[in-house]
A and B are shown apart, each in its own frame.
Chain A
């Protein structure tokens, strides 16, 4: 079983739609959680950190469920520019500098 699992998609949604991605992690000692965005084989860039209480940044909302060991990303009012691959990332307790990446979920927003 992979340490971090994501549905690879692709998710094809119309502009303006709401879309949600889930990511599960296997190690209960995982401590920090992030969503990164990667455009077409370019470098990944941090989209948002995921806090225990959940957090929102504009159209993006991230949630953490430690009991079920998953994190989620919700995108409201999708824009064409949201088309990208979204990477779920976790770090282990005591090894905060080692990131474990999911293989990514591909999103295409259609006009």
Chain B
């Protein structure tokens, strides 16, 4: 089954304790991205990657790191989490189709993170 998986789905942690949220897709998509969703603010892009070893900042990259060592995986790293990073996080992937800007992003099920 074609899908994007995220782990963990739920995480409660304390300020300053490093954590990683994994994201994996089995559709051989070049493009992957991380978003956070907060009430009233919608989804905001944190980082995205056009391919292996190619990553770029989105709208809200502060406090986050990513890596893209393999095509299928795009982990999100919080080196020193703070309470303002409490949010619902979504990973997404999509193919890059040359000559078109229209494409569909496939989202993972989400990771609900609480930082106390």
Q: Do A and B come from one complex?
A: yes
**A80 on interface, CB distance cutoff 8 Å:** no
Contacts across chains A and B counted by CB atoms under 8 Å: 50
Within the complex, which residue of A31, A43, A49, A87 is in contact with B42, where a contact is CB–CB below 8 Å? Answer: A87
What is the CB-to-nearest-CB distance from A106 to chain B, in angstroms, rounded to a whole number? 11
What is the CB-to-nearest-CB distance from B107 to chain A, in angstroms, rounded to a whole number? 4
A39-62 contact mask (Cβ, 8 Å, vs B): 1 or 0: 001111110010000000000000
Q: How far is the CA of A97 from the CA of B4 in the complex (A)?
A: 18
With A91-B101, A97-B50 already in contact, the answer to whether A44 and B45 are too (CB < 8 A) is no
User: Which of B42, B44, B103, B104 is packed against the most chain A CB atoms within 10 Å?
Assistant: B42
Let me know if B42 and A41 touch, CB within 8 A: no
Could you name 14 residue pairs across A and B whose Cβ atoms are closer than 8 Å? Answer: A4-B42, A8-B40, A43-B107, A44-B43, A44-B90, A44-B105, A49-B102, A87-B43, A96-B103, A97-B31, A98-B45, A98-B58, A101-B43, A102-B42
Interface residues on A, range: 20 to 34
**B41 on interface, CB distance cutoff 8 Å:** yes
Within the complex, which residue of A31, A42, A102 is in contact with B110, where a contact is CB–CB below 8 Å? Answer: A42
Q: How far is the CA of A43 from the CA of B105 in the complex (A)?
A: 11
**A20 on interface, CB distance cutoff 8 Å:** no
Q: How far is the CA of A82 from the CA of B34 in the complex (A)?
A: 27
Within the complex, which residue of B31, B104, B109 is in contact with A43, where a contact is CB–CB below 8 Å? Answer: B109
B residues near A110, Cβ cutoff 8 Å? none
**B108 on interface, CB distance cutoff 8 Å:** yes
**A29 on interface, CB distance cutoff 8 Å:** no
**A32 on interface, CB distance cutoff 8 Å:** yes
Q: Identify 16 new A-B residue pairs, CB closer than 8 A, beyond the known A49-B102, A96-B101, A101-B44.
A: A41-B88, A41-B110, A43-B107, A46-B104, A87-B42, A87-B43, A96-B103, A97-B31, A97-B50, A97-B96, A98-B45, A98-B58, A99-B33, A101-B35, A101-B42, A103-B42
B residues near A43, Cβ cutoff 8 Å? 90, 107-110
